[in-house]
């Protein structure tokens, strides 16, 4: 998409909270079906959680021996994740672009990213893609710091995708999981001028709700906090956690998706332990009204006293819509 798009007074949004398939072809089919359901329900912006494709490996923190050096079941599971991750510049990435165009929606989707060729082709990234309704890849953000045992799965990201982009429903930005505890990335995103912020998590439990609500209050923007579902049955063979490590009802990840207004209060309360698509119509005019007493990138910032400098590496973060066959 070219040029700045003026934000509407309202935005119709949806968060998909669903168990995801670990098989790339099935996960893409799921994504098509669920995004279609969201669009039929009126959504103009559809959000999927952290590493929706091919699913978040929550077992890495709870499976017996998962973090041991040279643990064969984990190496096998990692290779399986790699084989079923999205190649942003390949057919799977183009399919997601085509999906947004087919449904005429903006799409924000968490993926495990594989690099199709060249340097780094044996590394994976925890990434977020923002795709416009014409199918253009508007932004490609790689999580800056994989958290704790996530370092066994994904490589370090960069700041090239640390920005907001224009969509028909306003400027949309996003961060992944514990990036919401990092003050400097938060400030960079506030400076980008978000109307809507997408916060993707493995599950939006109490601490993650706190971070998401703080972000909304600090940034004076609406926040869509998307959480995933993972059932014991979804765990790779040989890596099922002990009974004592499962929070209840065999759910390792419980969802918790919610929508928060620019005053930090819930507009849609967290939803746990069930597959659903959360719909809402947001009043974007509230962003300006709430900014009267706090604007951390404007009148509540002292730029003559302090500044933030990003160090991009020049990685391409956008791509035009794929050609129609």
Query: Using the 8-state DSSP alphabet, how is residue 215 labeled?
Result: H
Cα angle 100, 58, 145; round to 5? 75
Q: Cβ of 75: how many Cβ atoms within 10 Å?
A: 11
Sequence-ordered strand ranges (E) for the chain = 10-17, 45-47, 86-87, 106-114, 124-131, 137-142, 165-167, 170-176, 196-200, 222-226, 229-231, 251-260, 266-272, 276-283
**What CA–CA distance (Å, rounded) separates 173 from 189?**
7
- Which active-site residues does the annotation give? 50, 143, 177
d(CA 47, CA 104): 14
Residue 19 is classified by DSSP as: B
User: How far is the C-alpha of 163 from the C-alpha of 187, rounded, in Å?
Assistant: 11
In whole angstroms, what separates CA 188 from the centre of its chain? Answer: 17
3-class secondary-structure state, position 199: strand
**DSSP three-state, residue 307:** coil
User: Which residues are within 8 A (CB) of 198 and not within 5 positions of it... i.e. 6 or more apart?
Assistant: 47, 108, 128, 130, 172, 173, 174, 175, 223, 224, 226
Phi, psi of 108 (to 5 degrees): -120, 120
Alpha carbon distance 189, 117 (integer Å): 30
């Amino acid at each position: 998409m070219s040029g700045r798009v003026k934000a509407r007074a309202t935005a119709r949004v949806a968060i998909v909270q669903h168990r995801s398939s670990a098989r790339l072809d099935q996960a893409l089919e799921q994504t098509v079906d669920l995004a279609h359901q969201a669009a039929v329900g009126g959504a103009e912006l559809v959000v999927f959680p952290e590493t929706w494709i091919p699913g978040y490996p929550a077992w890495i923190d709870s499976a017996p021996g998962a973090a041991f050096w040279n643990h064969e079941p984990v190496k096998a599971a990692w290779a399986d994740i790699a084989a079923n991750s999205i190649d942003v510049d390949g057919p799977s990435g183009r399919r997601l672009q085509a999906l947004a165009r087919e449904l005429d929606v903006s799409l924000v989707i968490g993926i495990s990213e594989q690099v199709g060729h060249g340097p780094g082709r044996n590394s994976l990234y925890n990434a977020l893609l923002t795709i416009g309704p014409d199918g253009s890849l508007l932004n490609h953000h790689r999580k800056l710091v994989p958290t704790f045992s996530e370092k066994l799965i994904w490589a370090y990201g960069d700041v090239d995708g640390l920005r907001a982009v224009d969509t028909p429903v306003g400027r949309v930005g996003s961060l992944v999981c514990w990036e919401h505890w990092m003050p400097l990335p938060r400030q960079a995103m506030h400076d980008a001028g978000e109307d809507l912020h997408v916060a993707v998590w493995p599950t939006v439990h109490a601490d993650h709700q706190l971070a998401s609500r703080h972000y909304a209050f600090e940034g004076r923007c609406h926040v869509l906090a998307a959480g995933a579902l993972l059932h014991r049955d979804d765990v790779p063979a040989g890596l099922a956690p002990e009974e004592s490590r499962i929070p209840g009802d065999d759910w390792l990840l419980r969802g918790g998706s919610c929508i928060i207004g620019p005053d930090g209060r819930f507009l849609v309360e967290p939803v746990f332990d069930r597959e659903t698509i959360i719909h809402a119509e947001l009043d974007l005019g509230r962003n300006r009204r709430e900014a009267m007493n706090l604007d951390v990138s404007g009148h509540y910032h002292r730029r003559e006293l302090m500044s933030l400098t990003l160090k991009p590496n020049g990685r391409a973060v956008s791509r035009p819509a794929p050609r129609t066959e």
